[in-house]
Structure 1
């Protein structure tokens, strides 16, 4: 495999330096939590190799979120990124073909590129409200297609596929004997009805999620993949064992505590994110130099400039950061033009969010 660093990681705020950013709207997660804010005190855990699949209690908590799911359908991984790496490296090779939606989270594209497989992109557009065209996906499937890969809620736009379209995709991929991978990292925050866990809809469907985004706990590196095909699960487990053997006892204990209080935590978080989304919506409504598709889930959105900013896009991002201390995720992080950018409205404080949005409006107009 050939590895190249991803722009989204090269330019990540932790690489640039958090101390250099005042209004950080580039983050894709809820506010980072602490053990104290979560009212957690780590007990005197025995630091053993734990169960390779992940602790049974933790896997039961994950499986409880979907109909017909069992703890043996769950594999605990090192974040959603670890799950995606396990899936790609075990299922793809240079002779394989992948169909993937774009824009997308970089790992869903870059790991298959490192493997060297053929990739067909299904590009989503503002004009279509970033909705997936199932017919276009089916038309892209070939005899050697191993995986069709989507995100839902979509990263970076926060849009949702309809349940009818999701079920159509399940049927299409089953018909063509390929896997359907659904990155559900933002599933836990929804502003309307919530879709079923995709893996509950078919044995060939794989769901990926984590505690990094909706729970504000990226530092514990706990994610998972769900798949009801036990033969695939054996392969995924073998891949995990060769990478890390098992997960962290401490991380998994924290994850258990969070998922045991899932309803309580998400009720508070979702209520706050609705307020944050309304702040962004009110700003967009009066900002004639930007347009968006309103997110229906998650905590990110993807505004687009209606005209080139004063001084061009490179100058826009430079002034926004260096003069106003505001950081957003430029379009090239997602292989899109830099006239679009991701705004994360869940990580900063409300006042920082409002200040950052005001800065964007200023820099769109000023040199």
Structure 2
């Protein structure tokens, strides 16, 4: 494998320096939480090797209310990124074919590239509302396709599938004899009701998620993958054991506390994110230099410039940061033109969001 650093990580706020940014609208999660916000207390834990599959009570909470899934179907990983790495390296070889949607979270693209497998990109179109057309996707699948990889709700656009479309994609993968990977990291931030956990649709479907985005705890590095396929579970567990043996006892304790209080934590977050989405919607309606597809989940959207701003696109980003102290995620983070940018409305404070949106409007005009 040949590793290459991803632009989204090289240019991330934590690498650039948070102190250099006044209004950070590039983040893809809600605001980072403190242990006191989550009411986490630590008992006198023994710092032993944990269960290799992950804390049993934690896995039970993840599987609960999911339509027949059990703790045995869940494997805890080092964030969703760790789950995606395990799945790609366990399932794909240089001779295999992957069909993956684009734009996408970079790990869904870059790890398969490092493996050297044959990648067929299914490019989502602004003009089609960034929706996954199951019929068009079916045309991209060949007899050599081993894995179809999608995200829902989608990063960076926030667009969602309908349940019928998700089931259609599951049926497609089953008919073609390949696996379907659904990155569901934003599932708990769906505004009009959550879809079924994808892994509940069959042994050929794999779900991936984490606590980083909806719960604001990326620092604990807790994610998971779900599959009812017992053979795959053993393969994925073998990969995890070779990478890290088990997860962190401390991280999994925090995650357990979070999920034990899931509804109490989520309800105010969803209410606030709906309010913020309404604010961004109102701003977009008055911003004639941008167009977008309104998101249905997550805390990000992906506006597009209607025309090149004064001085060019690169000058816009330089002006936005240097003059206005505002940071967004340029399109090249997602292998898209920089006339697009990811705007995160969940991480900044309400005042920072208001100021950041105003700064974007100013920078678009020079």
3-state DSSP of counterpart to 1:194: coil
Superposition deviation, residue 68 in structure 1: 0.8
Superposition deviation, residue 162 in structure 1: 1.2
Q: 2:169 & 2:246 partners in 1: Cα distance?
A: 33
Q: Which residue of 1 aligns with 2:29?
A: 29
3-state DSSP of counterpart to 2:215: coil
Check if 1:45 corresponds to 2:45: yes
TM-score, normalising length: structure 1: 0.99
Q: Which residue of 2 aligns with 1:117?
A: 117
Deviation string, structure 1 residues 223-276 (Cα, Å, up to 9, x no partner): 000000011000000000000000000000000000011111111110010011
Q: Which residue of 1 aligns with 2:196?
A: 196
3-state DSSP of counterpart to 1:37: helix
3-state DSSP of counterpart to 2:213: coil
CA RMSD in angstroms comes to: 0.6
Deviation string, structure 1 residues 130-158 (Cα, Å, up to 9, x no partner): 11011222111122211000000000000
Q: Which residue of 2 aligns with 1:94?
A: 94
Q: Which residue of 2 aligns with 1:66?
A: 66
Deviation string, structure 1 residues 299-336 (Cα, Å, up to 9, x no partner): 00001111101111111111101111100000000000
Count, aligned residues: 366
Q: 2:85 & 2:177 partners in 1: Cα distance?
A: 21
The answer (yes or no) to whether the contact 1:105–1:155 under 8 Å persists in 2 is yes
4+ long deviations beyond 3 Å: none
Q: Which residue of 1 aligns with 2:174?
A: 174
Q: Which residue of 1 aligns with 2:286?
A: 286
Q: 2:237 & 2:93 partners in 1: Cα distance?
A: 18
Q: 1:298 & 1:65 partners in 2: Cα distance?
A: 21
Check if 1:103 corresponds to 2:91: no
Deviation string, structure 1 residues 147-197 (Cα, Å, up to 9, x no partner): 000000000000101111110100010011100000000000111021111
Q: Which residue of 1 aligns with 2:133?
A: 133
Q: Which residue of 2 aligns with 1:265?
A: 265
Q: 1:146 & 1:86 partners in 2: Cα distance?
A: 15
Check if 1:244 corresponds to 2:217: no
Superposition deviation, residue 39 in structure 1: 1.7
Q: 2:65 & 2:315 partners in 1: Cα distance?
A: 45
Q: 1:175 & 1:289 partners in 2: Cα distance?
A: 44
Q: 1:262 & 1:144 partners in 2: Cα distance?
A: 41
| Structure 2 unaligned spans of 5+ | none
Deviation string, structure 1 residues 186-229 (Cα, Å, up to 9, x no partner): 00011102111111111110000000000000000000000000
Q: 2:38 & 2:257 partners in 1: Cα distance?
A: 9
Superposition deviation, residue 28 in structure 1: 0.4
3-state DSSP of counterpart to 1:101: strand
Q: 1:139 & 1:130 partners in 2: Cα distance?
A: 17
Q: Which residue of 2 aligns with 1:210?
A: 210
The answer (yes or no) to whether the contact 1:65–1:197 under 8 Å persists in 2 is no
Superposition deviation, residue 65 in structure 1: 4.0
Q: 1:136 & 1:47 partners in 2: Cα distance?
A: 50
Are the structure 2 counterparts of residues 19 and 65 from structure 1 closer, same or farther at C-alpha, using a change threshold of 3 Å?
farther
The answer (yes or no) to whether the contact 1:103–1:124 under 8 Å persists in 2 is yes
Check if 1:77 corresponds to 2:77: yes
Q: Which residue of 1 aligns with 2:152?
A: 152
